[in-house]
Structure 1
Amino acid sequence: MASATVTVDLVVRDLLHEDLAACAWTGTPTHLRYISAALGRRTSGAVDYLAVCGPSDLPLGVGGVDYRRRPDAGWLWQFVVHPAFRSCGLGTLLVRAAEDRIRQRGLAHAELGVDAANTGARRLYERLGYRVTREQDEEWDDIDAGGRVVRRRSHCAVLRRTLPPAAA
């Protein structure tokens, strides 16, 4: 079996509506509609929505920052990396870029919720310096396989990180 190391340049940029057609891997069609709605909130300054892209400029990971959920912190949400590129550092790159956006807003904290069953994501965030501050239940509407609206519920750990000042 042959082995090789390949280095690829990555860029983190704003996610665009035109990118959504290439983001089916992020989840259900309902999830894509939520992302589209979030992109619509960007013009008011309520959110940032980012994409990490490779040389093809196609999103390999996406995630948002909501500035209205917490008055003293940017709320990270809907972070997901394409399954083929997980554990390659893209999630870390995306989180750090989101933290930079939060700092640019003059906020000193980033916060997020992680489903109790998502131990891999929790390990990542803890490795990046996030600490559990509380637990809470989250609810959202989704569409089931039959096309019916269903209410989903998840028990989450809320993690917070005090952001260091931007490097000079």
Structure 2
Amino acid sequence: MTMTTGVVLKLSVRDLVPADLASCGWAGSGHHLAGVARQLERARLGEVDYLAVCSVTDVPVAKGGIDYRAEEGAGTLWQLAVHPALQSCGIGTLLVEAAELRIRKRGLRRAELGVEESNPRARALYERLGYVAYGRRPDAWNEQAPDGSLRRHETMCTLMRKELPGPGRS
């Protein structure tokens, strides 16, 4: 006999706030979270939105930013992450769709992002959501090693974009 069971997650999307960072260790190192804290200051200034997908207990299980200054006329999604134990449950889709709604509310009609070429699962998600590749660009950042030192991470990203519907369209 084979039995399958399902779990229903009740999720909400809201702005990420500084108090959330203590429960976001799954998203990256202390160095990464310090960078997210700096982005929250930019959110206060209206330059970016930084979203949290939260469980019923209001604990973030996914996070991601939208930068309105990176590309003229577009919202650029970046630092998207879903708790590893909850990946492939539709949470990334919910996060991207919420980000697209924020972009549309700003009066913009294009979403852009860069996905590491070493991350085919993420690229497949973005393609399923309607994003189309249009170029490549190297990217690099410092990441914290287990010993606390910073190491340079270099990668190649595929640039993707999606034209968003105008008002009154879904």
Shorter-chain TM band: over 0.9
> Does the Cα contact within 8 Å between 1:100 and 1:166 map onto a contact in 2?
no
Partner of 2:11: 10
Provide the rounded CA distance (Å) in 2 between the counterparts of 1:143 and 1:150: 6
Shift in Å, 1:166: 4.1
Per the TM alignment, residue 57 of structure 1 is displaced from its structure 2 partner at its CA by: 0.6
Greater Cα shift, 138-147 or 47-56: 138-147
1:27 deviation in Å? Answer: 1.3
Question: Structure 2 vs 1, CA of residues 162 and 29 (structure 1 numbering), >3 Å: closer, same or farther?
Answer: same
TM-superposed CA distance for 1:43, in Å, is: 1.2
Give unmatched runs, 5+ long, in structure 1.
Answer: none
**Residue 153 of structure 1 corresponds to which residue in structure 2?**
154
TM-score by length of 1: 0.94
Query: 2:82 & 2:143 partners in 1: Cα distance?
Result: 20
Matches of 1:6 and 1:161 in 2, distance apart?
A: 31
Q: Does residue 129 in structure 1 map to residue 149 in structure 2?
A: no
Q: Is the 8 A contact 1:25 1:82 kept in 2?
A: yes
Q: Gaps spanning 5+ residues in structure 2: where?
A: none
Distance 1:142 1:167, change over 3 A: same
Looking at structure 2, the residues matched to 147 and 12 of structure 1 have their Cα atoms a distance apart, in angstroms, of 32
Q: Which runs of 4+ in 1 moved over 4 A?
A: none
Q: Which whole-Å CA distance do the structure 1 matches of 2:10 and 2:152 have between them?
A: 40
Q: Provide the secondary structure at the position in 2 that maps to 1:141.
A: strand
Match of 2:70 in 1: 69
Q: CA deviation at 1:2?
A: 5.6
Displacement of 1:150: 3.0
Q: What's the secondary structure of 2:69's corresponding residue? A: strand
For residue 156 of structure 2, give the secondary structure of its aligned residue in structure 1: strand
Amino acid at match of 1:118: N
Quote the Cα distance in structure 2 between the aligned partners of 1:135 and 1:9: 37
Give the % identical residues.
47
* Cα deviation, residue 4, structure 1: 2.7
> In structure 1, how many angstroms separate the alpha carbons of the residues matched to 2:143 and 2:70?
20
Amino acid at match of 1:18: A
In the TM superposition, what is the alpha-carbon distance from 1:164 to its structure 2 partner? 1.3
Alpha-carbon distance between aligned partners in 2 of 1:166 and 1:18, rounded to the nearest angstrom: 34
1:44 — aligned with what? 45
Instruction: For residues 107-132 of structure 1, give each alpha carbon's deviation from its aligned partner in whole angstroms, at most 9, with x where no partner exists.
Output: 10000000010000000000000000
1:16-165 aligned within 5 A: 16-165=17-166
How big is each residue's C-alpha offset from its partner over 1:18-43, in whole Å with a ceiling of 9 and x where there is no partner? Answer: 01111000011111111111111111
